[in-house]
Amino acid sequence: MEEYVIEMLNIRKEFSGFVANDNITLQLKKGEIHALLGENGAGKSTLMNVLFGLYQPEAGEIKVKGESVNITDPNVANDLGIGMVHQHFMLVDTFTVTENIILGKETSKGGVIDIKTAEEEVRKISERYGLAVDPQAKISDISVGMQQRVEILKTLYRGAEILIFDEPTAVLTPQEIKELIQILKTLINEGKSIILITHKLKEIMEVCDRVTVIRKGKGIGTVNVSETNPTDLASLMVGREVTFKTEKTEAKPTSDVLLINDLVVKDSRGVEAVRGLNLNVRAGEIVGIAGVDGNGQSELIEAITGLRKADKGSIKLNNKEILNLPPRKITESGLAHIPQDRHKHGLVLNYSVGENMVLQTYYQKPFSRSGIMNFKQIFDKARSLISEFDVRTPSEFTPARALSGGNQQKAIIGREVDRNPDILIAAQPTRGLDVGAIEFIHQRLIDQRDNGKAVLLISFELEEIMNVSDRIAVIYEGEIVAVVDPKETTEQELGLLMAGSKRQEAGEETNV
């Protein structure tokens, strides 16, 4: 009978009339990795927030180890051994790893916080699960991947037996994903049970034992991973056939839209992150930038879009110098940008979806006339974008904050593509999107190209780069070290280039 550690039975959750979870059942066996799969806005995060005590369900029952429980808040969840790693981390930037972990559960000696003991404890747990976290490091100094491990440590420190991961891989680089998967396996070996939300079917096939599929708030069913395949899973989740390879014709590039010469950009610490970079993107083509995270991609995009000052070089958009112009000037010259960090740059979360849809154009007609906003026009526009890009939101007046992660992303993409820019800079555009949405977005990028526009795609996912790009530029230590044709290269070759092998050879040659 004690087969299940967690049973969520017939859960229903509404948000002022909108049903996010409708009679969903999920049963977690001890020692398994259980995937939760569903489209953007299907209700996955909501369901997990119910389990973690952040939301109260309107109906249904939750059992932990066979006993019916009432999880009124996250502390109750902690006490029941349930821990959650959120998609957007909840860490205090200026605190150290240990301080963050003990926050709210401080060990003290005579009223003084006992950091030493806590650090020791953190180090021990970290070693046991192979997390390799430095307990004394400051959060603002460590990578996103490390921050995620701190979140994992936090749950383990609180004695979690059941761990919930909400889209943990969406923010990670391919290398970090490999390491995370290793960590998940270690956790299982140590007797933990895991619920994993992910849109990446490959990951599900690789590590999960069973998968529960939900669609538009309703439970579709639970299947054994060994008895299914990615194609079936995708159609279960979307409710139709999904093709994984995007169809496209040969590119017909013409003249340069974006031309970058000898660009030098420093990062926030003052170190040169982009070092004499050269790149061109022509009308009618998609150029993909492949590279390991931290090789100057972010600084490059920020310099092109005007968010960061460049030190040297030239960036020409339609033959006009745009280097170090203010972002508005650059936008008006025909550039659009899907930013990498949607919460930081892409959205004003407290603004409605409608207001976010005009974030760059709010001052133009017809949205504004002689300094007065015309909200009717704005919300009309928003409505049409919402339906065109299938943004699942209760309405255009809903605050962007209340949208599911994937739908926030779709809203941004809709806004940027709709401006029909001469060049579209797309940084990780499909991060956190479901397979159906990814297919749709890729198609929109290709349409953009076919209409004679230029697209610059930055992605850590080689598969995406290979599928969508017409040319691939490999970035390594702030330079483009190679430009290759996706039809004539392999992931292996790209991997070597990204690791800097070509450049080394070239360097040796000049040394001789």
Partner 1 sequence: MSSRMRNILIPIIAVLLGVLVGTIIMIVSGYDAVAGFQALWNGAFGDIYFTGEVVRQVTPYILAGLAVAFAFRTGLFNIGVEGQLIVGWVAAVWVGVSFDLPKIFHLPLAVLAAAVAGALWAFIPGYLKAKFRVHEVIVTIMLNYTALHITNHFIRTVLSDGKERSENIATTASLRSPFFEGLTEYSRMHWGIFIAIICAIIMWFILEKTTRGFELRAVGFNEHASQYAGMNVKQNIILSMVISGTFAGLAGAMEGLGTFGYTAIKGGFTGVGFDGIAVALLGANTAIGVVLAAILFGSLKVGALNMPLEAGIPNELVDIIIALIIFFVASSYIIRWFIDRISKKGAK
Ligand X SMILES: Nc1ncnc2c1ncn2[C@@H]1O[C@H](COP(=O)(O)OP(=O)(O)OP(=O)(O)O)[C@@H](O)[C@H]1O
* Site for partner 1, rule CB under 8 A: 16, 45, 49, 54-55, 86-88, 90, 305, 307, 326-328, 331-332, 337, 339, 344-351, 355, 359-360, 362-363, 368, 371-373, 401-402, 405
CB-wise, 355 or 464, nearer to partner 1? 355
Q: Residue 57: name its binding partner from ligand X, Mg ion, partner 1, none (Cβ under 5 to 8 Å by kind).
A: none
Phi/psi at 213 (nearest 5 deg)?
-110, 135
**Residue 46 binds to ligand X (criterion: CB under 6 A):** yes
Amino acid letter for position 237: M
Q: Residue 240: name its binding partner from ligand X, partner 1, Mg ion, none (Cβ under 5 to 8 Å by kind).
A: none
Q: Residue 43: name its binding partner from partner 1, Mg ion, ligand X, none (Cβ under 5 to 8 Å by kind).
A: ligand X
Near ligand X by CB under 6 A: residue from 42, 183, 426, 438: 42
Q: Residue 407: name its binding partner from Mg ion, partner 1, ligand X, none (Cβ under 5 to 8 Å by kind).
A: ligand X
Q: In whole angstroms, how close is the CB of 251 to ligand X at the nearest point?
A: 31
* Strand ranges inside 227-271, DSSP E: 256-266
Phi/psi at 489 (nearest 5 deg)?
-130, 170
**Residue 85 binds to ligand X (criterion: CB under 6 A):** no
Near Mg ion by CB under 5 A: residue from 7, 39, 45, 416: 45
Angstrom CA distances, 115 to 125, 152, 457, stand at 15, 19, 45
Residues 348-407 binding Mg ion (CB under 5 A) are 404-405
Q: In whole angstroms, how close is the CB of 10 to ligand X at the nearest point?
A: 17
CB-wise, 291 or 436, nearer to Mg ion? 436
Residues 404-463 binding ligand X (CB under 6 A) are 404-407
**Residue 297 binds to ligand X (criterion: CB under 6 A):** no
Q: Which residues contact 11 (CB under 8 A, 6 or more apart)?
A: 21, 23, 24, 25, 26, 47, 50, 57, 59, 60, 62
> Which of these, 215, 181, 209, lies nearest to 47 by C-alpha position?
215
Give the Cα separation of 256 and 85 in Å (integer): 44
**Residue 40 binds to Mg ion (criterion: CB under 5 A):** no
- Judged by CB under 6 A, the stretch of 34-42, 111-119, 350-358, 450-458 that binds ligand X is 34-42
**Contact between 207 and 185 (Cβ < 8 Å):** yes
CB-neighbour burial class of residue 17 (10 A; exposed 0-12, middle 13-18, buried 19+): exposed
The DSSP result for 325-386, as a single string, is --HHHHHHTTEEEE-S-IIIII--TTSBHHHHTTTTTTTSTTTEETTEE-HHHHHHHHHHHH
Give the Cα separation of 433 and 452 in Å (integer): 26
- Judged by CB under 6 A, the stretch of 13-21, 235-243, 260-268, 285-293 that binds ligand X is 13-21
How large is the greatest C-alpha to C-alpha distance in the chain, in angstroms? 75
CB-wise, 298 or 430, nearer to ligand X? 430
Q: Which residues bind ligand X (CB under 6 A)?
A: 15, 18, 20, 38, 40-46, 392-394, 402-407
Q: Which residues bind Mg ion (CB under 5 A)?
A: 45, 404-405
